[in-house]
């Protein structure tokens, strides 16, 4: 019984190709499952970031409001002190003449 090399090599090649196709199909299915899991994780992270973004927006509004109020208070105090010094300078200049 002799084995013909011209039929053996193509048969081995076909068997290897079939095994390779099966391996690629299995890897493809696993990759699809991994992508589905990562998509779920990314959606969850995005939802949580949106929630935290709302908190940061509230903090930003609060600090802007506090800054506006403190600026107005400081401007009014500075204006009041400026008026006091202008009145004193005006009296001093009037008394010197």
How many CA atoms does the CB half-sphere of 78 hold within 13 Å? 6
Strands (E), the chain: none
CA 64 to CA 46: how far, in whole Å? Answer: 26
pTM of the model: 0.50
CA 6 to CA 17: how far, in whole Å? Answer: 17
28 SS3 class: helix
CA 63 to CA 72: how far, in whole Å? Answer: 14
pLDDT digits (tens, 9 = 90+) for 3-22: 787 888 889 999 999 999 99
pLDDT digits (tens, 9 = 90+) for 67-76: 999 999 999 9
């Amino acid at each position: 019984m002799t084995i013909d090399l011209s039929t053996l090599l193509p048969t081995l090649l076909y068997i290897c190709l079939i095994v390779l196709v099966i391996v690629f199909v299995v890897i493809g299915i696993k990759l699809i499952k991994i992508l589905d899991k990562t998509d779920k994780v990314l959606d969850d992270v995005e939802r949580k970031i949106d929630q935290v973004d709302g908190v940061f927006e509230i903090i930003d509004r609060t600090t802007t409001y506090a800054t506006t109020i403190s600026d107005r208070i400081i401007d009014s105090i500075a204006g009041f002190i400026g008026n006091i010094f202008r009145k004193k300078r005006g009296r001093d200049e009037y008394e010197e003449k």
